[in-house]
């Protein structure tokens, strides 16, 4: 281990988070999740295991879901990051997933919720009309200890319908 006792190595990076550009200095060893939480105040992203299994810290990096605990902040230099804080519209209107989660009791303590929402944004983008089994498989990388997943599955299926209806008008 080098660096102990030395000043931490830092780098200047540019991150776009929920459409907002940030130029910051970060320690090169800092994870993306810690950077979002500590340096940028985006505390909606939560850390549940810090070894890449629970999925609570999942954010979208250039539209793709990724574990925030398994990426260094420096690796996100130049990337567009979406966190749970960026899911609602600028006017504050909730994303259909957020609305469906509320209506289907898809969260209890809510600690895992952010990572599930971001994962499902990507999933429904790729699979707009999933079956229940596909939703359950897509959820397999997110652990929820409270709900038993039932409300989450229902909410995702419902949100898929809402998104299809919303996009139907403009789809070819």
Partner 1 sequence: MTGDLVGAPVHRLEDAALLTGTARFTDDIELPGTVEAAFVRSPHPHALIRSVDSTAARNLAGVHAVFSHADLAPLLTRNLIPPDNPTLKFAESTRAVVLAKDEVCHVGEIVAIVLADSRYVAEDAVALVDVAYEVLPSVSDCRDALAPGAARVHRDAPDNVVATFRAEYGDCGPAFAAAAHVLPLSLRQHRGGGHPIEGRGIVARFDPATEGLTVWSSTQGAHRVRDALVVLYGLDETRVRAITPDVGGGFGSKHIVYPEEVVVAGAALALKRPVKWIEDRREHFLAAIQERDQYWDIEVAADADGRLLGLRGSMVHDQGAYTLLGFNVAHNATLAVPGPYLLPNYRLDVTIAATNRVGTIPVRGAGYPEGTFAMERAMDAIADELGADRAEIRRRNLIPADRIPYELPLKARDGSTTHYESGDFPACMEKALESAGHDRFAERQAAARDAGRYIGMGVANCTKITGRGPFETGIVRIGPSGRITVHTGAMAMGQGIKTAYAQICADQFGVDPGAVKVITGDTGTVPMGIGGFGSRQTVTAGSSIHLASVEVREKALKTAAHMLEVSDRDLDLKDGTISVAGVPDLSVSLADVAKALSGAIGYARPKDMPPGLEASVNFLPTGLTYGNSAHVVEVEVDVGTGGVRITRYLVVNDSGRLINPTIVEGQIVGGVAHGIGNALFEWMGYDDAGQPVTTTFAEYLLPTAPVVPNVEIVHHETPSTVNPLGVKGVGEAGVIPAAAAVMSAIESALAPFGVRIRETPISPPRLVELIGEAKAGS
Partner 2 sequence: MKPPPFRYHDPGTVDEAVALVSSLDNAKLLAGGQSLMPMLNMRYVLPDHLIDLNRITDLSYIEESGGRVTIGAVTRQRDIERSDLLRRRCPLLRKALRQVGHPQTRNRGTIGGSLCHLDPSAELPAALAALDATVHVVGPNGARDVPMADFPAFYMTPAIEHDEILGAVSFDPWPAGHGSAFVEFARRPGDFAIVGVAALLEPGPDGTVGRAAIALAGVGPGPVRCAAAEERLAGRAPDADAIRAAALTCADIEAMEDIHAPSSYRRHLAVELTSRALHAALAEPGAGSPK
169 contributes a contact to partner 2 by CB under 8 A:
no
Q: How far is the CB of 170 from partner 1 (least distance, A)?
A: 26
**Partner interacting with residue 70 (select from partner 2, partner 1, none; CB below 5-8 Å by kind):** partner 2
- Segment contacting partner 2 by CB under 8 A, of 15-23, 45-53, 93-101, 158-166: 45-53
Closest residue by Cα to residue 123 from 144, 102, 152, 85: 152
Q: How far is the CB of 166 from partner 1 (least distance, A)?
A: 18
- Residues contributing to the site for partner 1 (CB under 8 A): 1, 4-8, 27, 29-30, 37, 42-51, 53-54, 56, 83-85, 87-88, 94, 98, 101-103, 105, 107-114, 117, 133, 135-137, 139-140, 142-153
- Segment contacting partner 2 by CB under 8 A, of 13-21, 57-65, 80-88, 147-155: 57-65
Q: What is the DSSP letter of 131?
A: -
Q: Are 106 and 42 in contact (CB under 8 A)?
A: no
Q: What is the CA radius of gyration of the chain?
A: 17
Contacts of 108 (CB under 8 A, 6+ apart): 146, 147
**Partner interacting with residue 48 (select from partner 1, partner 2, none; CB below 5-8 Å by kind):** partner 1
**CA dist 76 → 17, 39, 137, 141 (Å):** 10, 14, 27, 21
SS3 assignment, position 87: coil
58 contributes a contact to partner 2 by CB under 8 A:
yes
Q: Are 129 and 90 in contact (CB under 8 A)?
A: no
**CA dist 98 → 20, 59, 124, 128 (Å):** 21, 15, 13, 16
Write out the residues near partner 2 by the rule CB under 8 A: 1-4, 6, 8-9, 11, 28-31, 34, 50-52, 55, 58, 61, 64-67, 69-72, 74-75, 119, 122-123, 137-138, 140-141
């Amino acid at each position: 281990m080098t660096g102990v006792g030395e000043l931490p190595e830092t780098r200047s990076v540019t991150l776009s988070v929920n459409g907002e550009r940030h130029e910051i200095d970060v320690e090169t060893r800092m994870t993306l999740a810690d950077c979002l939480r500590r340096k940028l105040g985006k505390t909606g992203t939560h850390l549940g295991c810090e070894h890449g299994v629970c999925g609570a810290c999942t954010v979208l990096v250039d539209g793709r879901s990724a574990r925030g605990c398994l990426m260094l902040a420096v690796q996100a230099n130049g990337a567009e990051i979406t966190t749970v804080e960026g899911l609602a519209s600028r006017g504050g209107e909730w994303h259909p997933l957020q609305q469906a989660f509320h209506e289907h009791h898809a969260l209890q303590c809510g600690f895992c919720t952010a990572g599930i929402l971001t994962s499902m944004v990507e999933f429904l983008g790729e699979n707009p009309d999933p079956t229940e089994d596909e939703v359950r498989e897509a959820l397999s990388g997110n652990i929820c200890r409270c709900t038993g997943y039932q409300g989450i599955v229902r909410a995702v299926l419902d949100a898929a319908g809402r998104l299809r209806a919303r996009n139907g008008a403009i789809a070819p």
